[in-house]
Amino acid sequence: MTGPAVRIVHYVNQFFAGIGGEESAGTGPVRRDGPVGPGTRLAQLLGEGHEIVATVYCGDDYATTTPGAVEEITALIAEVEPDVVVAGPAFTSGRYGLACARVVAAAHEAGMATIACMHADNPGLDEAGGAPVVASGETARTMRTTLDALSPAVAKVAAGEVVTRADGRVGKAPRVNSLDERTSAERAVDLVLARLGGDNRATEVPLPRFDQVTPAAPVEDPSKALVAILTEGALVPDANPDGLESARATKWLRYPLDERDTMAAGEYRSVHGGFSTVWANEDPNRILPLDVVRELEGEGAIGRLHGEYLVTAGNGTSVGNARRFGVEWVGELRRLGVQAALLTAT
């Protein structure tokens, strides 16, 4: 007994739609009938009972920087009345990952069944809202194995089942109360036994993963470089005018350094909640070494000091927020031509 096929709409970027690369990243959203690019293989893997009825594609720049882009894309998808929306795989491509995540988040919000696919290090991962995301490989070279893993997860979503870590799910999963057949004591003992048996990975609470960051090339000549000073030591103007959190920061801030030669006691203070701030408040240069950086600037050891410092509170910060701060800080500093950054960590 077979019912009507599950109707799937697939979202891809301009590159995987075959429109072009970076030069076409400004292309607005377009819908085509049937599968396109990786959707062709995905449709084969899904087989009978599932049909990719349409593909919606959009340039990555358009999708991530144009106000209302996600709404336009979601509207094109909704017109086809799909049973399931699939986005990606986006691999480690940042803008494509953000676009996929925002599209499935919006579609999920609109009540559609959705799933996205990207690498666990993709900055889009945390923007998928309540929609499930399954892991892809790092690059399109892993397309085959990535689609092999994605296809059964799509089938699960289509069947109304929950996608779990066992299906390759990555990122936030909504917490759902359930009653386990075994007590926590029994499960804990099982985990201890598993560990004694050599299984060091078994856990009910997976730890966050840390990225591997490729070190930047060295600065050729610091005496010609624009240098920025940054801190996660929560050093802010004394009144903490922007309400920086003392723990679990959700934001970072910037404050001017122009016409200042030192971080004067009384004018700045650390609101960090993870250590005693007595020494920091006694001499805030202990957190942000402005006094000696100015001195070195005057002597020509650095080209120039950037006119603002960036600050957050590094105390119980979620990995997702920390990654976002990092991406935003790098974007900001690059845009302003900063070549080296000294970050004090408490």
Partner 1 sequence: MSIATRVGAPRVVTTRGIPYPAGDPSLGPQEERAWRRRLVTRALEVVATPVSRPTVFEVDEVENGAGRGWGPRLGEEGGVGAPPGRGQH
**Site stretch for partner 1 (CB under 8 A), options 40-48, 81-89, 94-102, 204-212:** 204-212
**Site stretch for partner 1 (CB under 8 A), options 18-26, 59-67, 157-165, 286-294:** 286-294
Q: Shortest distance, CB of residue 305 to partner 1, whole angstroms? A: 11
DSSP H/E element including 170? strand 169-170
Which of 62, 64, 56 shows the shortest CA–CA distance to 88? 56
Of 94 and 274, the one with the shorter C-beta distance to partner 1 is 274
- Which residues from 79-108 bind partner 1, rule CB under 8 A? none
**Adjacent-strand bridge partners of 33:** 54
Angle between helices 94-109 and 69-79 (to 10 degrees): 60
Of 136 and 346, the one with the shorter C-beta distance to partner 1 is 346
The mark string for 157-196 relative to partner 1 (x by CB under 8 A, - otherwise) is ----------------------------------------
The mark string for 291-310 relative to partner 1 (x by CB under 8 A, - otherwise) is xxx-xx----xx--------
Omega before 89 within 30 of 0, i.e. cis: yes
d(CA 160, CA 165): 16
Of 154 and 287, the one with the shorter C-beta distance to partner 1 is 287
What is residue 225's three-state secondary structure? coil
Token pair 């003992």 is found at 189
Of 85 and 310, the one with the shorter C-beta distance to partner 1 is 310
**Adjacent-strand bridge partners of 254:** 310
Q: Shortest distance, CB of residue 297 to partner 1, whole angstroms? A: 11
Question: Cα angle vertex 249, ends 254, 282, to 5°?
Answer: 65
- The binder of partner 1 chosen from 264, 286, 321, 324 (CB under 8 A): 286
Which of 127, 175, 9, 168 shows the shortest CA–CA distance to 76? 9
Residue 227: burial class (beta carbons within 10 Å; 0-12, 13-18, 19+)? buried
What is residue 57's three-state secondary structure? strand
The answer to whether residue 152 forms part of the interface with partner 1 (CB under 8 A) is: no
Which of 256, 259, 285, 257 shows the shortest CA–CA distance to 270? 285
- The binder of partner 1 chosen from 73, 105, 249, 288 (CB under 8 A): 288
The answer to whether residue 278 forms part of the interface with partner 1 (CB under 8 A) is: yes
Of 155 and 229, the one with the shorter C-beta distance to partner 1 is 229
Pairing of strands 308-311, 253-256: antiparallel
Q: Shortest distance, CB of residue 259 to partner 1, whole angstroms? A: 20
d(CA 244, CA 253): 8
Q: Shortest distance, CB of residue 279 to partner 1, whole angstroms? A: 5
Q: Shortest distance, CB of residue 212 to partner 1, whole angstroms? A: 6
Of 184 and 214, the one with the shorter C-beta distance to partner 1 is 214
- Which residues from 231-270 bind partner 1, rule CB under 8 A? 231, 233
**Site stretch for partner 1 (CB under 8 A), options 58-66, 92-100, 249-257, 290-298:** 290-298
- Which residues from 205-234 bind partner 1, rule CB under 8 A? 210-222, 227, 231, 233
- Which residues from 324-343 bind partner 1, rule CB under 8 A? 340, 342
Burial of 156-167, coded b for 16+ CB within 10 Å and e otherwise, reads: bbbeeeebeeeb
Pure H helices in the chain = 38-46, 60-65, 69-79, 94-109, 143-158, 184-196, 278-282, 290-298, 319-335
- The binder of partner 1 chosen from 71, 279, 334, 336 (CB under 8 A): 279
Q: Shortest distance, CB of residue 311 to partner 1, whole angstroms? A: 13
User: Where do contacts with partner 1 occur on this chain (CB under 8 A)?
Assistant: 210-222, 227, 231, 233, 274-280, 282-283, 285-289, 291-293, 295-296, 301-302, 340, 342, 344-346
